[in-house]
Structure 1
Amino acid sequence: MAWLRAFWSGLPIEGRWLLAVVAVQTFGRGLTLPFTVIYLSEVRGFGLGLVGALMSLVAIAGFVVTAPTGWLVDRYGARSVLLGGQGAMVIGSVTLAYATTPWTAASALILIGLNFGAALPAFTTLIASIVDGDARQRFFGIHFALMNTGMGAGGVVGGLLVEVDAPATFTTVYLVDAAAALVAALVLLIPLRTVRGHAGGGTEPRPATVGYRAVLRRPAARRLAALTFTAVLVGYGQLQVGVPGYAREVTDVSTDAIGIAYAVNTTMIIVLQLPVLSRISGRRRTRMMIMMAGAWACAWLLLGVTGLGGDTVVATAGLLAFMAVFAFGETLLQPTVPAVVNALATDHLRGRYNAVNAAAFNGGAIAAPVVAGLLLGAHLTAVYIGLMIAGCLAVCVMALALERRIPAQANGVSGPNELAVSQPSEQGNG
């Protein structure tokens, strides 16, 4: 594609190194992410309800650290925050590899959650400090495709390596995950040592006092955060616990098939992301969110239908179909939400804007495993699927409401008839 060649040739070297960080680290995460619930429940012998609570600690820790992360990013730079998060990830992954008690697993998952909470706003801010305009939306999309390449490759390898009857195989993949985080830290320390990613270079006048109150005063920021929370609750948050839990407990799909399903998800993202990016340029980002939610509702319906029968082959096919359709929705969402966030943000509050949206993301991720664990543990599978579909429809409504609150430029379009929203004063307390 001509636009892709132009994008790559115009991308600063720092942007290319950032993509390298993504490729390495997400491969490590792919080795473990689809199998953590299986590892804790079937290898370590924890009940599914307890596993759901343990998995929620990742999001809880991420949520707690998000607000301080936004302040730290704006004050000291995104790179420094990312380095601290990578250290927590290394320790957490090594601890989880040898966790035999719920308390040990809890401490490991908290450390991993601290990394996730710091990484989401810090990495997004780092990207925004390197590229802007339409190139920024495309970077977010390409970053997402590359991230899923690493996750999918790791998922395939992990699915082939791990065996429920051989706990040492799980130990190995968690140690490799730790090594991948260490490599990412080295890239941040050496090739990216000059990149800070904070507001120090901004050209906008800086108010005497700024903080989260200035961000949350804006209706658009609040509505976008609510949309993110709901989308994670019925989407990403279910991929780690709900989907594999449903596949194992309801339809008895094998661990190999689960690994392949995640690979299908990744393959579809890789295949579709670049064509989708070329099609959505100049289109309303809120409409892409609506299309995403519709695709996810169809995906959940497919998964729910597979749970009605007892045929494992049909169930496996349904899981693969779910992942494929779900992936299409992801290619629409990932380039749009962070692009809207950073289009609304001012330079001196960019870390906090990204932190607010990250907090919404983590809030949805806190609720998702708990909801999945309770409903699936109580065998309320129809209620579980119905709730996911209802949540997708709610995202459609929220996206339409958001469209009336954001300026045309933030929504990815421009025109004389588009709504222009004035920004309130950003004075407030941090």
Structure 2
Amino acid sequence: MTAPTTRVPLSAFWHDLPVPARWMLSTIVVDFFGNGLVLPFSVVYLHEVRGFALSLVGVLLAIPALVGIVVVGPGGALVDRIGARPVMTVVVAGQLVTLVVWATTATVPQAVVATVLQGLFNGLAWPTVNALIASLVPSGLRQRYFGVNFTLLNLGIGVGGVVGGLLVDVHRPGTFVALYLVDAATFLAPLAVLLGPLRHVSGKAPTPAADAVTPGAVVADAATYRTLLRDPRLLPILALGFVTAFIGYGQLSSGIPAFARAASGISTQALGWAFAANTAVIVVLQLVVLQRIEGRRRTRLLCVMAAVWGVSFVCLGASSLVPGTVSAALLFGACASVFGLGETFFQPTLPAMVNDLAPDHLRGRYNAMSSLVFQVASVVAPACAGFLVGHGLAGGYVVLLLVGCLAAAGLALLAERRVPPEVNGVRRSPAASGATTR
């Protein structure tokens, strides 16, 4: 029996949020303002400013995910062993250094070094930050936290994208260098929080006694990733994560901008405004969506996301039919905006499912597995997009994305049959809860 859905005001969420978690949220806008400065322009920077062939750019942008695949497993185990905060401190400092290297990249070997460093620290970042969040935020607040975090993140990215689009000029490489250096400086804010207000937080959970473990949970004291893969509840979530990463975030920073430039003739300024529109949709609608998805099945919300992304990719394909025109720019803006609507259903749900399923003492490993499938998809996605777009197969690229949307919806429905209702976001009424404990 499902409890009635109620809309909890956001003021209550902030009031109930532990103080360390508030500090975590406090730096998001500044940090991701820097990310927004450079996010839409990685392909443009390497291809049009540094002169690398588009096919080579696709390979270079796949390197971070390849490196991430190597480091994410040991990183997740390290988080469980020493705690999320110490690992996160090293990661943030490393990301700062990486952006300085990006700013000075002028040759292929330098680009390889930059992308390897990016993969090293980004590969560690995702499972570490999600594990840290889950250690600070109670289960009942996690879905909202991930949603609010995503709103603030996109506010920073959106403002950064607009500023970056106004400032960069492919004929003045120094403008790109300046943006990467500013992005590096923004990492000083989260580093200060980790070394200051959160210095006493470890993010490490003790291993529970055998008689305290929930039936069906992973209980191994030194659990390997093979142990986790024997959890049938986790497998469909991982498969869903792979597909959504491939058609979504694996394309957003590489394939979609490459398509926009090569097939649709979109200017760098229009790219910046399209990403700003994406962000505006998220900032305006994410909190509204959060109010309406409380207590609803997360797998059904992911089906909605797949349908919305399908509409977005149709707009993307249509923009290539009128290349270099205002209509193309408007259609690409529509693509980015509708994609943002789908993100408001995705971001609060899948991370919350992983962390609600994970035992506290194995949270680093569960988040590492989730990160791993995203990294694998991010290896395949840029390379695939680079090949298709670079060889004039724009139509095939769009069809591939649409097929991926159908696959994502099917995997979401499969996951619904495997995961417990509580992990799927379904609240139980007090009477039902009592019946299950008798």
Q: Provide closer, same or farther for how the CA distance between residues 405 and 309 of structure 1 changes in structure 2, counting only shifts above 3 A.
A: same
SS class of match (1:70) = helix
Q: Shift of residue 201 of structure 1?
A: 8.0
Preserved contact between residue 227 and residue 395 of structure 1 (Cα < 8 Å): yes
Matched, 1:34 2:47: no
> Which residue in 1 is equivalent to 2:264?
251
For 1:172, the equivalent position in structure 2 comes to 178
Partner SS for 1:235: helix
1:92 CA displacement = 1.2
Cα distance in 1 between the residues matched to 2:224 and 2:207: 18
Distance 1:313 1:209 in 2: 58
1:9 alignment partner in structure 2: 15
In the alignment of these two chains, the number of paired residues is: 417
Amino acid at match of 1:64: V
Secondary structure in 2 aligned to 1:241?
Answer: helix
Give the Cα separation in 1 of the matches to 2:246 and 2:124.
20
1:427 maps to none
Query: 1:311: how far off?
Result: 5.0
CA drift of 1:7 comes to 0.6
**1:287, 1:399 within 8 Å by CA — same for their partners in 2?**
yes
Q: 1:232 aligns with which of 245, 260, 267?
A: 245
Query: For the residues of structure 1 that align with 2:170 and 2:18, how far apart are their CA atoms?
Result: 45
Q: What is the one-letter code of the residue matched to 2:412?
A: A
Name 2:371's counterpart in structure 1.
Answer: 358
TM-score of the superposition, structure 2-length normalised? 0.92
* Per-residue deviation, 1:57: 1.0
Where structure 1 has 5 or more consecutive residues not aligned to the other structure, the ranges are 419-430
How does the TM-score come out when normalised to structure 1?
Answer: 0.94
* 2:218 is the alignment partner of 1:209: no
Q: Deviations over 1:107-138 (max 9, x none)?
A: 11111222211111111111111112331110
CA contact (8 A) 1:225 1:357 kept: yes
Partner Cα distance (1:96, 1:202) in 2: 44
Check 1:201–1:180 CA distance in 2 against 1; reply closer, same or farther (3 A cut). farther
**Would the alpha carbon gap of residues 146 and 70 (structure 1) be closer, same or farther in structure 2, given more than 3 Å must change?**
same
Whether 1:54 and 2:57 are equivalent positions in the alignment is no
Paired position in structure 2 for 1:163: 169
Contact kept in structure 2, 1:90 and 1:178, CA below 8 Å? yes
- The aligned amino acid for 1:161 is L
> What corresponds to 2:74 in structure 1?
68
Residue of structure 1 in register with 2:436 after alignment: none
Inter-partner Cα distance in structure 1 for 2:414 and 2:59: 33
Cα distance in structure 2, aligned partners of 1:39 and 1:11? 40
Whether the aligned pair in 1 keeps the contact of 2:161 and 2:276 (CA below 8 Å) is yes
Work out which of the residue numbers 382, 404, 414 in structure 2 matches 1:369.
382
Q: CA deviation at 1:182?
A: 2.8
Aligned residues of 2:207 and 2:221 also touching (Cα < 8 A): no
Matched, 1:386 2:399: yes
For residue 98 of structure 1, the aligned residue among 92, 104, 109 is 104
The Cα of 1:178 is off from its aligned counterpart by 1.0
User: What's the CA shift for 1:212?
Assistant: 1.6
**Cα-Cα RMSD:** 1.6
User: Are 2:295 and 1:282 equivalent residues in the alignment?
Assistant: yes
Q: Give the Cα–Cα distance (whole angstroms) in 1 for the partners of residues 139 and 229 of structure 2.
A: 24
1:54 and 1:352 map into 2 onto residues whose CA distance is 27
Counterpart residue type for residue 24 of structure 1: V
In structure 1, how many angstroms separate the alpha carbons of the residues matched to 2:82 and 2:360?
Answer: 14
Q: How does 1:131-142 map to 2 (within 5 A)?
A: 131-142=137-148
Worse-matched range after superposition: 164-173 or 75-84: 75-84
Q: CA deviation at 1:202?
A: 6.2
Identity %: 47
